[in-house]
Structure 1
């Protein structure tokens, strides 16, 4: 007979592991199924010699997941940014690299009164003028991955701008890549008794085996839940560039594009272990429009590389380009908030978690918050 205290988690990424751990700590018997041969989802870190993630990943210490992870000793060692690297922060504006951002951007970043029912560009223009509004929207794209952040809800964009410009920085990086933290989460889940199966694609929801938490992409969730039309929300399309170049003195640390959304970062500046000695790992994300291809974003990224990493073509020892479509987190159009996104509780003992699901927060925080809510509801449904 099925265990009435059993909970199934479909998806072994950050959200799925968070949900599985929470359920197991509450006393439930938990089974987690991951279609890929490795856990982590988009938080997987590639095996060496170039330890890349699927696009830049950051862990914001101002979010609710930070203390939760810290209490369980799951964050682990963090990469440290040398003070000297900060001198290599560059802003692309007016076709050239600059050392300082526009003054208006710094004044705008502290605002906490942005409305949800106006576009960010409209709201920010009324305060600081169109040029500053455009630059601020493009800077915020580091945490949005959308081709036109200025057209989104002012409240949505402003929260990301405020947190992405906070000093000292909120963004931190687990040493060795996000995969190390995922490995710690997986080991902790197994210690709690979670049955973890990888390479296990689930084609249909389990029947009569307790609550189910679906911690997958919305596309995959829609297929599992019978093509539910409600499981849709706007996301971004982003060209991703991973590049390993031979070290050269004077290379930029970060290039933030203020003329268009885009960001390059030399991750080995803070974590040399991500690439072999003498080699720098550069990762970039360049958002593209819905009708554009990967090549458009890659071309913009190469222009930024020309400016910030002179001679990079001759120094390249490894490269990978990709296009992330619908995998870059939710974005909120004007007049909407996270409360309007697909609900966690789908009824009939099925719960949804992930970074496009109804939950407050920034990027991975959304996945975490929705997973925590899904787990709490699932445990309650078992009667524990």
Structure 2
């Protein structure tokens, strides 16, 4: 029987563990935190928040894989009345519809964006500078980067189309992303996976193949490999609970600068006590910007979409996520140029900053399946089967 060690018990690590165990391997998962989930954890307590605004996109292979195993669970649909409360800040005021020029970039007939040009330059030629800038900023919801227009045009275009697809790809597991993690952990346990929490690994085992399913920074330290670097985003996370008031927006998307505020109890009231609403926002900030700068921009969006929110606050939390928002591809690069999954000597990487295709959590999923396929020498575990 094959034996595999998985370091990291987040979405990538649990995907790798389940896949390996289903193939007959004996799997041990080591997680440094006291709970599983990584960035897919949902906070316990009266306010069940994810680490920043989270949604599960249904257009990738991970959706089918999770659904086949009944791991998605109940979903919290957005009521039509709430969906109609999506607002866009453009030129300093809230609007219901995006600028017409921005829509040119979403037409089915729109040309495929090039890899080697930046999005702003390419999109300006299609939709003009204003439409290009608005589109770039809207795409930040799937990028978490302070300057999406400076990234590869092909990279941004894919995420923009996925974020604005009709019907929407974004779905919300009831109870937060943590409910998916709980089902994945139960699946792994039932398959015989040994899971150890509060178990930080400082030295790689040499008797089994190892899937390192951690952040790229943690993998770099563990493997002592200075080449494990790739650009990511830096974003300010603002979470708060406010007393319910009619007329609050569902989403406020900033088209003047990258930023996103979402009221998650619009679709899932179980995330907060009765009479209260949970709002989560992410504001990408540049290297020269501070946490206070991001918080100030978040408050501008709150002022526009949630009248009187300051007097209604019941709970608030702020944080900075630096290099924890997934890979972003500069012009001239694609996912194939990121750190390879196979590191040699039986060591494999999985996570959202390695060489695997997809959007957001799909990269973690795809890299985890690839890592297990290589570790077991079982090509039938590839993505075609998933």
TM-score (norm 1): 0.97
Residue aligning to 1:200: 199
Structure 1 residue 291 displacement after superposition:
2.3
1:259 aligns with 2:261: no
State the secondary structure of the residue aligned to 2:377: helix
- Counterpart of 1:8 in 2: which secondary structure? strand
Q: Distance in 1 between matches of 2:3 and 2:61?
A: 27
Distance 1:371 1:291 in 2: 34
Q: Which of residues 215, 219, 241 is equivalent to 1:221?
A: 219
- Out of 218, 238, 242, the residue aligned to residue 241 of structure 1 is 238
1:182 is the counterpart of 2:181: yes
Question: CA contact under 8 A between 2:101 and 2:130: conserved in structure 1?
Answer: no
Partner of 2:318: 321
Distance 2:9 2:53 in 1: 19
Out of 355, 360, 365, the position equivalent to 2:362 is 365
Contact 2:104 2:126 in 1 (8 A): no
Cα shift at 1:112: 5.3
Deviation at 1:83, TM superposition (A): 0.3
Once the two structures are TM-superposed, the CA of residue 107 in structure 1 deviates from its matched residue by: 2.2
Are 2:24 and 1:23 equivalent residues in the alignment?
no
Pairing of 1:249-328 with structure 2 (within 5 A): 249-328=246-325
Residue 204 and residue 363 in structure 1: after superposition, are their counterparts in 2 closer, same or farther (change >3 A)?
A: same
Equivalent pair of 1:91/1:101 in contact (CA under 8 Å): yes
- In angstroms, what is the RMSD of aligned CA positions? 1.2
Residue in structure 1 matched with residue 375 of structure 2 by the alignment: 378
Match of 1:347 in 2: 344
* 1:141–1:149 contact (8 Å) kept in structure 2: yes
Residue equivalent to 1:60: 57
Match of 1:45 in 2: 42
What SS does structure 2 have at the residue aligned with 1:39? coil
Q: Give the number of equivalent residue pairs.
A: 378
Structure 2: gaps of 5 or more residues: 382-386
User: What is the aligned partner in structure 2 of residue 212 from structure 1?
Assistant: 210
Distance in 1 (alpha carbons) for counterparts of 2:14 and 2:101: 41
Alignment deviations for residues 314-341 of structure 1 (CA, whole Å, 9 cap, x no partner): 0000000000000000000000000000
- Is 2:237–2:318's contact at 8 Å kept on the other side of the alignment? yes
Question: Is the partner of 1:129 in helix, strand or coil?
Answer: helix
Tell me, which stretches of 5 or more residues in structure 1 are unaligned? none
What's 1:6 paired with? 3
1:87 matches 2:84? yes
In 2, the alpha carbon distance for the partners of 1:146 and 1:45 equals: 23
Three-state SS of the structure 2 residue aligned to 1:35 is coil
Match of 2:94 in 1: 97
- More deviation in 103-112 or 115-124? 103-112
Q: How does the TM-score come out when normalised to structure 2? A: 0.96
What is the SS of the residue equivalent to 1:335?
Answer: coil
| Equivalent position of 2:172 in the other structure | 173
C-alpha deviation, 1:230, in angstroms: 1.4
Query: Does the aligned pair in 2 maintain the 1:112–1:158 contact within 8 Å?
Result: no
Distance in 1, Cα, partners of 2:268 & 2:208: 43
